[in-house]
Amino acid sequence: MTTESHHPGLQRPALHTQPPRGASAWVEIDVAAIAANVRELRRRSSPAQLMAVVKADAYGHGVDVAARAALAGGAQWLGVAQLSEAIELRDSGIDAPLLSWIYPPEADLATAIRRDITLGIGARAHLASVARAARAVGRAATVHLKVDTGLGRGGVLEDLDAVLDDLAPLLAEGALTMGGTWSHFAFADAPDHPTVRAQQERFGEVLRLMEARGIPTGVAHLANSAATLTNPSAHFDMVRPGLAIYGLSPVPDLGRPEDFGLREAMRVRARLTTVKRARAGQGVSYAHQYVTDRDTVLGIVPVGYADGVPRSASSAGPVRVGERTLTVAGRICMDQFVVDLGPDFDGAEGDVVTLLGVGVAGEPTAQDWAVAAGTINYEIVTRMGPRLPRVVVGEA
């Protein structure tokens, strides 16, 4: 099976059911894990609804398959950042409730309204442009008002009263329908941080203010993955997890995926393309950051920073070879890196090695790579590039 992108202009990796013949590296997506993770998150947050966040090609997992797996696991909503991502989901035949929250003033809001895409309203100017598009289409636009309760990023901050003043007549006119009210945390991954409680209280205040003014709040939602897992008092009417759906921990200091009943959905595998002997004292890869300390066997792993393997994990990233976890030897290059397989290595070209996998199975994880690269697990999975074919495993 191979499918092409439905939306010209967005580059998507091809989907397969087997590693394609001759592929030197690929990403496996366990759709059963995504569905099971959503079921677990639903169990923890019900009766709140769940919006599965599938922006950025479902954090690198492939939006088509990930969105369907999340819906199969019980997600009632899908969330994406850019409007182009929402339109692509509609083009691929997904008709679930869908929220999009990033669009410029000149975006094709009429198409969004016609295709039943709910729009986040993060600024006073958005209200007017969405209402104008709704009048042109001849149909109400459903909106979720985004309030900045302290993140200091998107959302209405100081001019809430003015926005509510603008909003009331647009609702009365029928240009807009209030579908929801929402906000986002600054420190969800530090549940005891004082801003968490402060933002939650501010959010409650805004909801009460709207009710007092006779403006329906619709579905209230605030919790990302970290708050879904660690802060039930922030669940409100709906939770909005992304990372946890893919089986990664948003709070690695507080728990591993398995501690939350989650399983990693992405595995990254590659075939050794070269296996060769080298003498002690051989410098390895650019700038000879690694030098062999004995006669040994070197293996070439054909993925590099062009594929999303971070160069900052040079001499640090973990690779599973058979029953051993080795460390990248020297610099990670654009298309490849080297591992020192040791003098007794008895494998050969074509052997499969694992960069990312399931922690409980002893495989390196996105979190291990994040530590090696000085970043977060989100960035590791999200950057896995389109040159790596996606192989769908399991059944949602």
Ligand X SMILES: *Cc1c(COP(=O)(O)O)cnc(C)c1O
Please identify every residue annotated as catalytic: 55, 286
Amino acid of residue 198: A
**Applying CB under 6 A, which of residues 75, 83, 243, 380 lies at the interface with ligand X?**
243
Which CB sits closer to ligand X, 243 or 284? 243
Tell me, by CB under 6 A, how many residues bind ligand X.
Answer: 10
* 240 touches ligand X by CB under 6 A: yes
Amino acid of residue 283: G
**Applying CB under 6 A, which of residues 49, 142, 224, 354 lies at the interface with ligand X?**
224
**Applying CB under 6 A, which of residues 225, 230, 292, 336 lies at the interface with ligand X?**
225
> What minimum distance in Å lies between the beta carbon of 352 and ligand X?
29
Tokens of 380: 């590791």
Estimate the crossing angle of helix 160-173 against helix 194-212, to 10 degrees: 40
Judged by CB under 6 A, which stretch of 164-172, 234-242, 253-261, 355-363 contacts ligand X? 234-242
> CB of 53 within 8 A of CB of 37?
no
Q: What are phi and psi of 32, to 5 degrees?
A: -65, -35
Amino acid of residue 184: H
Residue showing the smallest CB distance to ligand X in the complex: 242
**Residue 44 labelled as part of a binding site:** no
Which CB sits closer to ligand X, 53 or 371? 53
* 359 touches ligand X by CB under 6 A: no
> What minimum distance in Å lies between the beta carbon of 36 and ligand X?
17
Instruction: Report the C-alpha gap between 239 and 229 in whole angstroms.
Output: 10
Which CB sits closer to ligand X, 56 or 328? 56
Judged by CB under 6 A, which stretch of 7-15, 238-246, 276-284, 361-369 contacts ligand X? 238-246
Going along 63-155, which residue ranges are E strands? 77-82, 98-102, 117-121, 141-146
* 184 touches ligand X by CB under 6 A: yes
> What minimum distance in Å lies between the beta carbon of 129 and ligand X?
20
For the beta carbon of residue 321, count every other beta carbon within 10 angstroms: 19
**Applying CB under 6 A, which of residues 242, 257, 299, 308 lies at the interface with ligand X?**
242
> What minimum distance in Å lies between the beta carbon of 149 and ligand X?
12
Tokens of 232: 């039930």
> CB of 45 within 8 A of CB of 235?
yes
Judged by CB under 6 A, which stretch of 6-14, 24-32, 240-248, 275-283 contacts ligand X? 240-248
> CB of 248 within 8 A of CB of 367?
yes
* 247 touches ligand X by CB under 6 A: no
> CB of 212 within 8 A of CB of 42?
no
Please tell me whether the peptide bond between 47 and the residue prior to it is cis, using omega within 30 degrees of 0.
yes
Judged by CB under 6 A, which stretch of 121-129, 239-247, 269-277, 330-338 contacts ligand X? 239-247
Angle at 179 between CA 215 and CA 241, to 5 degrees: 125
**Applying CB under 6 A, which of residues 97, 179, 180, 250 lies at the interface with ligand X?**
250
For the beta carbon of residue 74, count every other beta carbon within 10 angstroms: 17
Which CB sits closer to ligand X, 225 or 336? 225
**Residue 266 labelled as part of a binding site:** no
* 107 touches ligand X by CB under 6 A: no
Q: Classify residue 147 by its DSSP letter.
A: B
How does DSSP assign 199-242, residue by residue? HHHHHHHHHHHHHHTT----EEEEE-HHHHHH-GGG-TTEE--S
Which CB sits closer to ligand X, 250 or 308? 250
Instruction: Report the C-alpha gap between 261 and 336 in whole angstroms.
Output: 34
**Considering only residues 42-61, where is the footprint of ligand X by CB under 6 A?**
53, 55
Which CB sits closer to ligand X, 321 or 381? 381
Tokens of 304: 């590099």
Binding site, annotated residues for substrate = 153, 334
Give me the residues that bind ligand X (CB under 6 A), please: 53, 55, 184, 224-225, 240-243, 250
